[in-house]
Amino acid sequence: MSRTRLLVLTGLFMGLAGFLLGVGFLFLVNVPVEELLVQKGISQTLINIAMTGIIILWALSTAWVTRCFFRKVLIREKPPTSFIYLILGILFLMAAVVFYFLLTTGSPVIARLQGTVSEPGERYSFGPYPDKPRLRELKAEGYDGVISLLSPMIPFEKILLEQEIDNGKEVGITIHSLPMLPWVSENQDSIQRAMELAESSDKRYYVHCYLGKHRADLIKRVLMGQEPENEETQECIYKTRLERGKLYFYQNSRIIMGPYPTDEEWFHLIQRGQFKEIIADLDPENPGDLNWIKREEKNCQEMGLKYTIMPVRKQGTAYQGLLELVQYIANSQHKIYVHGFLITEKNLLLDGLLRGGDLEHMGKAFPEQLQGGAVFRVSYNLFLGPRPALGEMDKLKKAGITHMEALELDENISPAAAASYIQALPKTLGVCFFYGFPSPEYCSQVASILGSRYYGLKRDNIPASIGGHKVDIITEHLLLGRQPEAAELRTLAGLGIRTIVQLEEPDLSSDQDLNLIKQAVESEGLRFELVYRSEDYINHIAKEVQRDDNPCYVVAAPFIQNAVFIELKSCRI
């Protein structure tokens, strides 16, 4: 066999085998592994490393299969020509079928990955790729045109775009091609053209990319900034951690503090989180910070978001600019995401300030032990401990405590109820120290519960099952499971759960006495919230989770738990 022919046959085999193995790895390995890692709360960096490892494994597998074909078949003394062409023919046929499958956007697998259609305003709908029947439906529903964000740079999207344009001509609906690639700077031209389309007429458009997610969401944010949305908006369930650190929530999630988002997080949290302003406490005089500022400023311009830089600089042990930042946030009325780069001491001080602390007194070294037992810091403005002995009050004042109060707790009150009692006390500006607990162990439990309510449940402490069935972790502020028994309610209360959301079907009579359930819940110091599974029940649950320091456990019947899990996950960002 000639060298040229050998190279051609080897190249054909590698290309076809690599394509088929790649699709197999994508659907059978990459997607399931990524979903598993996300469920376990693994950081995006580690997920990316895992995905890279799988890609390397795919490349090595392709090389190994090709090497076997080359050594065992092609370079034999008498290569079996018929067998070679049979193998290549079978591979070509399989590759053609798979490529056709990828182009068939209505297939079950692709449909499962697609986003849902949303209609936030009268003039626009946003969703996945529309086939010809869907274009006919859009025409019948009174849409004047379709804005397609598919990019001809992606081979299969190029074919789908050409097909869509032809279908549009046949159906009689105009297709406006505004090619976009997610997280690429050239998107600005397409965004500008979309804005010009919106401003030039009062026509109605369907906007889509391939799956109806990243690119469609970006255009939605731009266009809806020019048109009022419907009064009823979809509430979000926020994750409690980004790759670079935790998220902190205030004023029913109107204010969220966290680290600098990655590109992926920008298009999940910032874009979908309905924020109006991004505040960065980065320092433009620092060359390292300046690069991040310019990058973020461009993202905000593309999304139509207000971008404010309020540098916080450390000078000695003090942070200059922190008070001005807090006052600016306090005077705002809209939704804000405030961040530095990582979560550092300045974020913990800002957390204390947003909870009513005093910068002059926060952050000082505090005594971890008094004569009566250990002192526990819940946040920079809240400490719990034993009753101070003679002379220890002065010690606490030197440590920054501005307000000391003995709690008047009812006899036999549970630690969770004591935590709720502290949460319900009138807000006191400064740094507070509460005492009067029955024992050091009791005080430790109350501090742990408050810490979990403030900053999220500890995953390692979440029980694997409740009511004999698995507990689903939506976020560190939201669990889903079956009806808990009395002892399990106590476990949830000790974990830091604040509210039990009882989810009921509106059209089915319950065989449970809801009043008895409510009494059992409240006896453990927890809130009870009854929600019926109506059209907007997800919004009700999301609003509960968004309440200040309010981790929730949603009770779902066996026949709806899986469906509720999917619906809650779908609005988690």
Side by side, which strands form the sheet with 432-435? 376-379, 382-384, 432-435, 403-406
User: Which amino acid is located at 312 in the chain?
Assistant: V
Question: Rounded to 10 degrees, what is the CA torsion of 226, 230, 234, 240?
Answer: 40
Residue 227 has a pLDDT of 46
Res 385: pLDDT: 97
Place of tokens 């009511």: 467
Residue 461 has what DSSP assignment? G
Stated pTM of the model:
0.65
Shortest CA distance to 117 belongs to which of 103, 130, 128, 107?
Answer: 128
DSSP percent split of the chain into helix, strand, coil, nearest 5: 45, 15, 35
| pLDDT tens for each residue of 8-31 | 888 999 989 988 998 788 767 866
- Pairwise pLDDT comparison (90 vs 224), residue with the higher score: 90
3-state secondary structure of 389: coil
> Does position 115 have pLDDT exceeding 70, yes or no?
no
Q: 263, 163, 280, 285: which is closest to 214 by C-alpha? A: 263
Looking at residue 35, its pLDDT comes to 61
Angle between the 514-523 and 486-495 helix axes, to the nearest 10 degrees?
Answer: 50
Cα distances (angstroms) measured from residue 433 to each of 402, 405, 428, 447: 8, 6, 11, 12
Those residues with Cβ within 8 angstroms of residue 451's Cβ, 6 or more apart along the chain or in another chain: 378, 496
With a pLDDT cut of 70, the percent of the chain lying above it is 89
Going by pLDDT thresholds of 50, 70 and 90, the confidence category of residue 566 is: confident
Separation of alpha carbons 449 and 497, rounded Å: 8
Tens digits of per-residue pLDDT, 292-339? 999 999 989 888 899 999 999 998 889 999 999 999 999 999 999 999
Q: Give the pLDDT band of residue 535 (cuts 50, 70, 90).
A: confident
Tokens of 484: 């808990």
d(CA 285, CA 288): 9
Higher-pLDDT residue of 202 and 232 is 202
Are the C-beta atoms of residues 461 and 514 closer than 8 Å to each other? no
**521 contact partners, CB below 8 Å, separation of at least 6:** 489, 500, 527, 528
User: What number is the average pLDDT over the span 379-399?
Assistant: 95
Q: How far apart are CA 154 and CA 148, in angstroms?
A: 14
pLDDT, average across residues 184-191: 60
User: Domains, the chain, ranges and CATH?
Assistant: 3-103 (no CATH), 114-224 (3.90.190.10), 241-342 (3.90.190.10), 369-450 (no CATH), 459-570 (3.90.190.10)
Q: Which residue has the tokens 């090709």?
A: 66
> In this predicted structure, what is the pLDDT of residue 225?
53
The confidence band for 106, taking pLDDT boundaries of 50, 70 and 90, is confident
